[in-house]
Structure 1
Amino acid sequence: MVDFRITEEQRAHVTWVRDFMDSTVRPMAAELDKVVDPNERFPWQMIEKAHSIGLMRFGLPEAYGGTPVDEVTMCLIMEEFGAGDVGSTGIIAQYWNAISLIDRMGNDFHRDTFIRPYLDDPRSVYALALTEPTAGTDAQLPYDSPEAGPLLEAVPDGDEVVLNGVKTYISYSTGANVFIVFARTDLSVPFTEGLTAFIVPKDTPGFRLAHTFDLMGHRLAPIARLEFDDCRIPKENQLSAWNSGFAELSRFTIGRYWVGARCLGVARAAFDMALEYAKNRVQGGKPIIEHQMVARQIGEMAMTIEAARTTIWKAAWAAQHPDQADPIVLRMARVLGSEAAMKVALDAVRIFGGPGTFTDVGVEKLLRDAATGLHPAPLDVQLMIMGHVLAGTRQGPVAQVNVAS
């Protein structure tokens, strides 16, 4: 039996998060979005406030003082995140995901060293580093060849492991304390068989943030290029089993529909603005929503949002019932959420007309955020993988690690 009713507990969680978005995140994002230097945009005020009110622990296991909730509830929260500011709130989602990865892959040393000390740190941020200049969608498809995929190499040396290479387009790097880095530990085999996860603290010698990229949207979620030059870490910082990093990534499915839910929040915010404007803007002697073309646009925007939301909720259910559900719905949710954001935000700009392009109105920011949300894990790649699975030419899960952008 399908039940789409929101429980009182879920409603309370949504109200709490929405209040935080309205009081802190949205006004902060509107100002920081205008800052020219990407290195000066990191939303520390939001992160510190999120820690102070307990939001950073929300959804974590009780062992970490968290409040475990089901995946549908998390999707409701992710939608509120997107409606507040899809870029900065991704930092919180990344925090939850990184802790989940460390907790699942690691041991007590990792938990005591890289989780517990950061739970009450008002400036704790995690980053996940997989992508490289020549290895993007290889991790999605993958092109299973020894020369393909990530090439940043990790070599054992006594009680240490030495990392050399480059990672790029790594979200939240400018504020991160802890980096989960996926490196090649066997270059003679395809990277799906020779990838290992390590933990690299930000102040490790030989590791540096080389360049911060400027973004069109998601501007409070800076991405950066990371360089490793004889970067030495203790062997204890090895997180996954040797050469088993890709298998761990393949289990990391949350990002597919969480990103879709956050993009859906962008669509909802754009819809709310467009609907309010259409009810109050008078042209031709009546509110423009009374004109057939605008009314049709509003109706189609609402339908687009509802269709995406239903798929996202189904994906959340699928994640909780992996033995009973088709995992392809996780990719569908990612695609539909992103495409809903782009369509609805563009329609909102059209409804606003000229003012929709003004930076002080706010709709154009949502359009930029929506466009940026079409990546990472390009939607065409997601659709292609779905087609291969449906055709029976591909089986099994494929990694997707970046939940943020």
Structure 2
Amino acid sequence: MSTFGVSEDHLELREVTRQVAREVIAPRAAEVDEGGVFPETSLAALVAAGLHAIGLPEAYGGQGGDLLASVIVAEEIARACMTTQQVSGGNELFVWPLLLGGSQALCDRYLPRIASGEALGAFALSEPEAGSDVAAMTTRATRVEGSEGGWRLKGTKRWITNAGRADLYVVFAVTDPGAGARGISAFVVESGDAGLSFGAPEKKMGLRGSPTAEVYLDATIPADRIVGDPGQGLRLALGTLDRTRAVVAGQAVGVAQAALDCALAYARERRQFGRPIGEFQGVQFMLADMETKIRAARLLAYDAAREAEAAGPDMSLAGAAAKCFASDVAMAVTTDAVQILGGAGYTRDFPAERLMRDAKITQIYEGTNQIQRVVIARQLLVGVQNRL
């Protein structure tokens, strides 16, 4: 594990997170899912422990954790409740564009609010006709003439985590329609801004306590709310995703580990033909494969965190590979867990079915796994000379 930079501090962080997850978050996970309720108590526990945005620099009141710390925290929270991790993860999605390109004044204004837990963040990139094809977005930002200046944002964002609950949003919009992908910029929008509204919450298969909705924009914001310079938006968005895909991989590992935990407990207790089903070789092989896949996914997630922390040349490839593999593992392992539980796995009496429903989204958001494979292949083809 030392190869991937896992220090004593990381191990201690894992134990602290695991304790909060076990004592506060896990007991509420089924209730959050069943009722589709926002995980207020669980999020408050993360804030109290400083685990809600572990990667925020100390200069802004954060914990100053590296990306590996973010991955470890995501894994442990998702192991207890994927919904809670997803809600909390909105903070890092908000934070990264500001860290990568925001002015000092913008960072000073907003990042301490995230660090203290006063504000919850969100990341508004996708649109009804611009999901995988981000450059096709139609939301526009036009300069406002006059002494005050500013920007008028108009458009619709879709599939936005924490929409309607977040206090702060990073919104991506086209500022130069003739410049293609280089004409996209990023802005901070506050929940109290006039002209910001939301659609009805989506009725989802999983992550049912994590609010997801459309964001409607017809708002004018001050000029100093732009993140970086005009035209830098797509670079900031992709730079953010290069880092947070490692965190999604950690999330996927966490939900897969929870499924294996559930399957192991059941295999020890459930008896058929006079003995525990865990003594049957068919079940043993399934459990062994589940463990092997989880270990491989965890190492890929840690490697992606290491590469992104160093801003290495393989950062995009490593993040895509980790997210793609780990999410496929999450889906496979949770499906096998349901199979091991048999009929019981298909009921809500056990967590396996919830874990399976939650796991599916990891193959879709922050770039579908089909897009991740495109990213990986392009990186290989472009960088082939450097690899020989």
Q: TM-score, normalised by structure 1?
A: 0.88
Q: Distance in 2 between matches of 1:218 and 1:250?
A: 24
Shift of 1:249: 2.1
Q: For residue 237 of structure 1, what is the amino acid of its counterpart?
A: R
Spell out the pairing of 1:17-36 with structure 2 (5 A cutoff).
Answer: 17-35=17-35
Match in the other structure for 2:341? 352
Q: Contact between 2:161 and 2:212, CA under 8 Å: does it hold in 1? A: yes
Shift of 1:251: 2.1
Of residues 153, 164, 168 in structure 2, which corresponds to 1:163? Answer: 153
Q: 1:335 to 1:83 in 2, by over 3 A?
A: same
Match in the other structure for 1:375? 364
Q: Distance in 1 between matches of 2:212 and 2:124?
A: 11
Spell out the pairing of 1:31-46 with structure 2 (5 A cutoff).
Answer: 31-35=31-35, 41-46=37-42
Shift of 1:235: 0.9
Shift of 1:321: 3.1
Query: Identity over the aligned pairs, expressed in percent?
Result: 29
| 1:301 and 2:297 aligned | no
Shift of 1:287: 1.0
Q: 1:271 to 1:100 in 2, by over 3 A?
A: same
Secondary structure at the counterpart of residue 69 of structure 1: coil
Match in the other structure for 2:229? 241
Shift of 1:152: 0.5
Q: Contact between 2:57 and 2:65, CA under 8 Å: does it hold in 1? A: no
Q: For residue 243 of structure 1, what is the amino acid of its counterpart?
A: G
Match in the other structure for 2:264? 275
Of residues 67, 70, 74 in structure 2, which corresponds to 1:71? Answer: 67
Equivalent pairs counted in the alignment come to: 380
Residues 26-47 of structure 1, C-alpha deviations (whole Å, 9 max, x = no match): 2222102111xx5xx2222222
Match in the other structure for 2:170? 180
Spell out the pairing of 1:198-277 with structure 2 (5 A cutoff).
Answer: 198-229=187-218, 231-252=219-240, 253-277=242-266
Q: Contact between 1:388 and 1:394, CA under 8 Å: does it hold in 2? A: no
Residues 67-115 of structure 1, C-alpha deviations (whole Å, 9 max, x = no match): 2233333322221122011222122222134223223322233123322
Of residues 99, 103, 107 in structure 1, which corresponds to 2:95? Answer: 99
Shift of 1:131: 0.6
Spell out the pairing of 1:327-366 with structure 2 (5 A cutoff).
Answer: 327-366=316-355
Q: Contact between 2:140 and 2:175, CA under 8 Å: does it hold in 1? A: yes
Secondary structure at the counterpart of residue 224 of structure 1: strand
Q: CA RMSD of the aligned region, Å?
A: 2.2
Residues 256-301 of structure 1, C-alpha deviations (whole Å, 9 max, x = no match): 1110110110000000110111112111111111111001111111
Match in the other structure for 2:77? 81
Q: 1:367 to 1:57 in 2, by over 3 A?
A: closer
Shift of 1:379: 0.5
Q: 1:4 to 1:150 in 2, by over 3 A?
A: closer
Match in the other structure for 2:10? 10
Residues 128-184 of structure 1, C-alpha deviations (whole Å, 9 max, x = no match): 111110101112xxxxxxxx5111011111212111111111111131001110000
Q: Contact between 2:60 and 2:108, CA under 8 Å: does it hold in 1? A: no
Q: Distance in 1 between matches of 2:26 and 2:215?
A: 30
Q: TM-score, normalised by structure 2?
A: 0.92
With 250-259 and 64-73 compared, the bigger mean Cα shift is at 64-73
Secondary structure at the counterpart of residue 44 of structure 2: helix
Shift of 1:347: 0.5
Q: 1:297 to 1:326 in 2, by over 3 A?
A: same
With 25-34 and 338-347 compared, the bigger mean Cα shift is at 25-34
Q: For residue 120 of structure 1, what is the amino acid of its counterpart?
A: S
Q: Distance in 1 between matches of 2:50 and 2:325?
A: 31
Shift of 1:311: 1.4
Q: Distance in 1 between matches of 2:316 and 2:361?
A: 25
- Unmatched segments (≥5 aa) in structure 2: none
Q: 1:210 to 1:332 in 2, by over 3 A?
A: same
Q: 1:78 to 1:102 in 2, by over 3 A?
A: same
Shift of 1:4: 6.0
- Unmatched segments (≥5 aa) in structure 1: 140-147, 396-405
Q: 1:381 to 1:296 in 2, by over 3 A?
A: same
